[in-house]
Structure 1
Amino acid sequence: MPETTATTSDGGTAAGASSRRGTTGATIELENLTKRYPGSAQPAVDNVSMEIGAGETVVFVGPSGCGKSTTLKMINRLIEPSGGRIRINGEDVTDMDPVKLRRQVGYAIQSSGLFPHLTVAQNIALVPRMVGWSKARIRARVEEMLDLVGLDPGEFHGRYPRGLSGGQQQRVGVARALAADPPVLLMDEPFGAVDPITRDHLQDELIRLQHELHKTIVFVTHDFDEAIKVGDRIAVLREQSHIAQFDTPEAILTNPADDFVSGFVGAGAALKRLNLTRVRDVEITDYPTVTIDDPLQDIFDRLRSAGGNEILLLDKRGRPYKWLRRGDLMRAKGSLARAGALVHDTVTRDATLRDALEAVLTDNAGRVAVTGRRGEYTGVVDMETLMNSVHELLEADRLDALEHQHDLAETRSGRTHTEQEGFTGTGGANA
């Protein structure tokens, strides 16, 4: 069977690009992109121009109805532009066959959009099958994609969407969007329909995937905190997708362009900057652990040798299960079934410090377990570490504010001095 041709990051093509090597991201250029609907006095999207770098995650954020989803859908021409050009890796795709274009651009939407009558494997295999991949290659790619998004291929391969949780459906949706190894991934509020905890974990998963894959991602959300967390750059959009500010999250937080952007930033900019630092950037400490299969006496001995008052119980897969205190063990009476407190919240290394802080405060015990891609225990982050990071951010903001005030004062002083010189010079001429 013929192999698909994938666009490479240097603008060329590679027949049957190896899934191990993968196709990296592509540049995207929007030039005067416009959408007018019949009968509307104003365009829905008006002359939008921007450049997105290969491997970059760019987030569109703005009020409802501002045209951010319309702009996104014009990139793969789910909505046809009324005017302007779209270039991917320098190639003008405005006149390309739209079906061919969509097969080269991954697309993930809210509520996953999975076909309910197809299994997980069949959903993921859709585009590779359409572009002519061999059965063996499709089979290998499905397993690779499930593993990539943290789902056990043996467990999920033959299941149907109705048997999955909302978070699992979204993971499969992302796997399907990436299955044919596209250089570009478009995501239209992909995590908007799941609960907040699942949403945080899906955001972490996307960040981890992007570290591995380096795709070009264009992501639409109405949640500014989500934009800060996942975006390399954020485009804050006004009505008709007019760009109010297009910059890094840190630049927007510390120097919003105007009152409109400031409204999106909202109060507590310093705390929002906790979304810019990842758990992997701070100290992750080890913690005494035991497994659910360990004899009770061994657990007692481990807790005694650790010298603390608490130990973390792991399940048979090495995942955090319960926090056990010394008193819990005393009351266990030979069984751990009712002993200890269940671990409700965990974070990954790609979680933000804000996620970790919220988990610590929710648990009210001063620490949160850190897990790997399959939920396995890797360490702990404690409240002291998080608070030190908060204090460092607040101090940095205080110093930045002082420096900004100093620069303003110098600017005003220089302006006044110039005006005085001008006045004196004019007076001398008149004299």
Structure 2
Amino acid sequence: MSETTTETARDEAAGASASSGTSGATIELENLTKRYPGSGEPAVDSVNMEIKAGEIVIFVGPSGCGKSTTLKMINRLIEPTSGRIRINGEDVTDIDPVKLRRKVGYAIQSSGLFPHMTVAQNIALVPKMIGWGKSRIKSRVEEMLDLVGLDPAEFHGRYPRQLSGGQQQRVGVARALAADPPVLLMDEPFGAVDPITRDHLQDELIRLQHELHKTIVFVTHDFDEAIKLGDRIAVLRERSHIAQFDTPEAILTNPADDFVSGFVGAGAALKRLNLTRVRDVEIADVPTVTIDDPLQDIFNKLRAGGTNELLLLDKRGRPYKWLRRGDLMRAKGSLARAGTLVHDTVTRDATLRDALEAVLTDNAGRVAVTGRRGEYTGVVDMETLMNSVHEMLEADRLEAVEHQHELEEQRAQLTHQAQEGDGGEGKA
């Protein structure tokens, strides 16, 4: 058998095992501590934490509290002064840190792509370093670009400077996942992009996690981002002391103390909109036409339909413009001048808060829902969103009433016990 044939066979076998994907690993931090020379206090002081396989854990806390330092000690970009790190039960504190980093994906703010390398070369970097064959690397690069929603044919040969900020971050995530690591560390990866792009990148991460089931540790200073992304959130004080480590629901409804309440802030009920996804509510449909449809057919559909508007899709089936009766007449039959551009869309993985902001921004009473390549899949309207808000507020009201009743019962019991005690003393 020739060398090329042997490599192909080996890559096909490895690819077959990789196609199922490596799921997440457990992470245990035991008394993890970092002291810098000349500093009186440790930067990170005896952190103990267990992270389950396949969950997203968010580190959130004030600037300088040690959250990024704690994250970087997991893959030993920063060496711990003392303590232990176990991944899937294996103590990684004493193994070669370079080998460890090749097994742990890492994504940072501003993507960290090498500017002199193409997109494909950036993604292929770690697989090449750990000895994958050429055919397997080529296949993996295309797979990863498709996974993060970038057309391999279009982006394969581009350089980072030719990409938007959001596209660079997608490539950064693709590179971090290329060698199929069980653990992905993300250090404020979406902090340098605009709010709309940030929302879409967050949705993309949620979608990826549904498919990949990695263990993700994510640092952010944005509590709303933590609520949206996290299965559990670790609210950290100075020196990475854990103020509360719990689900977003528990932290929103029952913050451990005033420090955590400060992070939750006002409007906890509305923040809970970040806990419900578009896929969890009713997605309606509207009549659509495409940019290639004859003008007369579009006229006829507007006249005949029971609705006052149509959604015009581009050649790829993506929302392009809203067309209303009279738009084509006023624009003298030209689609170029007719209708209102679609400014924002949401995916099924977007939160109801994202959808509500998009509806209010567009001031049109609804927002288009799209698939992974931006194709139209439906709409969510203001009525659906407001019903969800009212349901959450009513649930919060009932919970508050129930809590008040419990407090009153406890006071009554204490009063009764005190009175019985006084009566007993009097009789004595």
Regarding TM over 0.5, the answer is yes
Match of 1:382 in 2: 381
1:370 alignment counterpart: 369
Supply the distance in 1 between the matched residues of 2:304 and 2:42 (Cα, whole angstroms).
70
Q: Report the counterpart of residue 117 of structure 1 in structure 2.
A: 116
Match of 1:292 in 2: 291
Shift in Å at residue 306 of structure 1? 2.2
Counterparts of 1:409 and 1:352 in 2: how far apart (Å)?
37
Which ranges in structure 2 are unaligned for 5 or more consecutive residues?
1-5
1:21-36 alignment, distance < 5 Å: 21-36=20-35
Aligned counterparts of 2:327 and 2:398: Cα–Cα separation in 1: 47
1:42-121 equivalences in 2 (<5 Å): 42-121=41-120
Per-residue CA deviations over 1:310-332 (Å, capped at 9, x if unaligned) read: 11000000000001111111123
Alignment of 1:211-360 (within 5 A): 211-360=210-359
Structure 1 Cα separation of the partners of residues 414 and 7 of structure 2: 69
Q: What is the identity, as a one-letter code, of the residue corresponding to 2:43?
A: A
Equivalent residue number for residue 207 of structure 2: 208
Q: Distance in 1 between matches of 2:15 and 2:78?
A: 29
CA distances 1:347-389 after superposition (whole Å, capped 9, x unpaired): 0000000000000000001000000000000000000000000
Query: In 2, distance between residues paired with 1:183 and 1:418?
Result: 56
CA distance in 2, matches of 1:73, 1:172: 21
The 2-side partners of 1:33 and 1:295 are apart by: 66
Contact persistence 1:58–1:218 (CA under 8 A): yes
8 Å contact from structure 1 (residues 55, 216) kept in 2: yes
Distance 2:224 2:157 in 1: 36
Shift in Å, 1:15: 7.3
The corresponding residue for 1:134 is 133
Distance 1:106 1:45, change over 3 A: same
Determine if contact 2:56/2:218 at 8 Å carries over to the other structure: yes
Deviation at 1:308, TM superposition (A): 1.2
Q: Which residue of 2 aligns with 1:9?
A: none
Q: Contact (CA 8 Å) 1:19, 1:141: kept in 2 or not?
A: no
Which secondary structure does the structure 1 equivalent of 2:326 belong to?
A: helix
Residue deviations 1:376-429 (CA, integer Å, cap 9, x gap): 00000000000000000000000111111111122222233333334444555x
For the residues of structure 2 that align with 1:19 and 1:326, how far apart are their CA atoms?
Answer: 53
Aligned length: 419
Amino acid at match of 1:102: R
Cα deviations by residue, 1:182-207 (Å, 9 ceiling, x for unpaired): 00000000000000000000000000
Contact 1:68 1:220 in 2 (8 A): yes
In structure 1, distance between residues paired with 2:7 and 2:411: 68
CA distance in 2, matches of 1:233, 1:407: 28
* 2:374 alignment partner AA: G
Percent sequence identity over aligned pairs: 87
The equivalent of 1:179 in structure 2 is: 178
1:120 and 1:158 in contact (8 A); partners too: yes
Name the aligned partner's letter for residue 322 of structure 2: W
1:124, distance to aligned residue in structure 2 (A): 0.3
| Structure-1 separation of matches of 2:229 and 2:146 | 21
1:252-294, Cα deviation, whole Å (9 max, x unpaired) = 0111111111110011000000000000000001111000000
Whole-Å separation in 2 of the counterparts to 1:388 and 1:286: 18
Give the direction of change, closer, same or farther, for the CA distance of 1:284–1:136 in structure 2 (3 Å limit).
same
**Cα RMSD for the two superposed structures:** 1.5
> Where does the alignment leave 5 or more consecutive residues of structure 1 unmatched?
4-13
- Structure 1 CA distance, aligned partners of 2:172 and 2:424? 71
Change (3 A) 1:19 1:302: farther
Once residues 186 and 48 of structure 2 are traced to their aligned partners in structure 1, the CA distance between those partners, rounded to angstroms, is 19
Quote the residue 2:411 is aligned against: 412
Q: Look up the equivalent residue of 2:170 and give its one-letter code.
A: R
The answer for the alignment partner of 2:400 in structure 1 is 401
1:344 is aligned with what amino acid? H
Residue 11 of structure 1 aligns with which residue? none
Q: Could you say what secondary structure the match of 2:112 adopts?
A: coil
Aligned-residue offset at 1:96: 1.0
Q: 1:314 is aligned with what amino acid?
A: L
- State whether residues 66 and 241 of structure 1, in contact with CA within 8 Å, keep that contact through their aligned partners in structure 2: yes
**Residues 187, 217 of structure 1: 8 Å contact kept:** yes
TM-score under structure 2 normalisation?
0.96
Secondary structure of 2:191 counterpart: coil
Q: Which deviates more, 402-411 or 337-346?
A: 402-411
The Cα shift of 1:2 comes to: 9.2
* Aligned partners of 2:15 and 2:136 also within 8 Å: no
CA distance in 2, matches of 1:411, 1:176: 56
**SS of structure 1 residue aligned to 2:310:** strand
Displacement of 1:57 after TM fit?
Answer: 0.2
